[in-house]
Amino acid sequence: MNILSAAKKRHTAKAYDTERRIPEDVMQQVYGLLRNSASSVNSQPWHFIVANTPEGRARIAKATQGGYGYNAAKVNDASHVIVLCARVDMDEAHLDALLEQEERDGRFRDAQARAGQDATRRGYVNQHRYGTKDVAQWLEKQVYLALGTALVGAATLEIDATPMEGFDQKILDAEFGLNEKGLTSLVLVSFGYSSSADFNAGLPKSRLKQEATFTFI
């Protein structure tokens, strides 16, 4: 399946087949897509919690109680559920870890290139921290790039997915001790195979016309 066909076929699954599990080799590709997603100045301000057992999904489902109950089945019935978490700031430890990994991966031809990358990234961080004062929102944007990559990738792999912002963030942050790690939960994504109850699978795709969404100059 080519990528445009996959994008056109992709839909948000509303119900999952509880008897079908995604093979591990397929999910490894999803994990690879998340890890290799683009991010501004290679900031990689994300952490992913993967639930692939009933017990793991039940922990995540704690955040879909009350007013978010409409998402409980999408968590409990899926094959896998991933919590996409964002850093709340770019601390020194993370900045240093990025630089060290880039050096191990051979991205610097010399010390000057290393210093330049470090200065550039810190410049962006400081701009958002002290200039626009929106560092947390900037980091969240990077995580949404990973979300989009994973959703298109899942469609290409012919598995279904459900992105969800409808959950109690405070409950999930507490469940996994995220705030103590400098993280916060941002969005959930369920993966699996939709069931016959997934009404959205049979509905036509609806998007604005190209002339309404593009300006060519």
Q: Residue 1 pLDDT more than 90?
A: no
Say which of 74, 102, 170, 211 is annotated catalytic.
74
**pLDDT band (50, 70, 90) for residue 205:** very high
Q: Please provide the CATH number assigned to the domain covering 3-89+135-213.
A: 3.40.109.10
Kindly give, in sequence order, each residue whose CB lies less than 8 Å from that of residue 182, ignoring residues fewer than 6 positions away. 87, 88, 89, 91
* 158 flagged as catalytic: no
Alpha-carbon distance of 194 to 14, in angstroms, equals 7
**pLDDT band (50, 70, 90) for residue 188:** very high
Q: Residue 197 pLDDT more than 90?
A: yes
Per-residue model confidence (pLDDT) at position 82? 98
Per-residue model confidence (pLDDT) at position 167? 98
Residue 10, SS3 per DSSP? coil
Mean pLDDT, to the nearest integer, of 46-59?
98
**pLDDT band (50, 70, 90) for residue 164:** very high
Alpha-carbon distance of 172 to 131, in angstroms, equals 31
Say which of 14, 55, 102, 175 is annotated catalytic.
14
Q: Cβ(45)–Cβ(91) under 8 Å?
A: no
Say which of 165, 175, 181, 205 is annotated catalytic.
165
The upper half-sphere exposure of residue 73, i.e. CA atoms within 13 Å in the direction of its Cβ, equals: 11
Per-residue model confidence (pLDDT) at position 47? 98
| Rg of the chain over all Cα atoms, to the nearest angstrom | 19
* 74 flagged as catalytic: yes
Residue 5: its H or E element: helix 3-9
Mean pLDDT, to the nearest integer, of 55-83?
98
Check: pTM over 0.85? Answer yes or no: yes
Q: Cβ(172)–Cβ(63) under 8 Å?
A: yes
Could you give the residue ranges of the DSSP H alpha helices within 50-199?
54-61, 72-76, 92-104, 111-126, 135-156, 169-175
Say how many C-beta atoms besides its own lie within 10 A of residue 216's C-beta.
Answer: 5
Per-residue model confidence (pLDDT) at position 10? 96
Q: Cβ(198)–Cβ(15) under 8 Å?
A: yes
* 133 flagged as catalytic: no
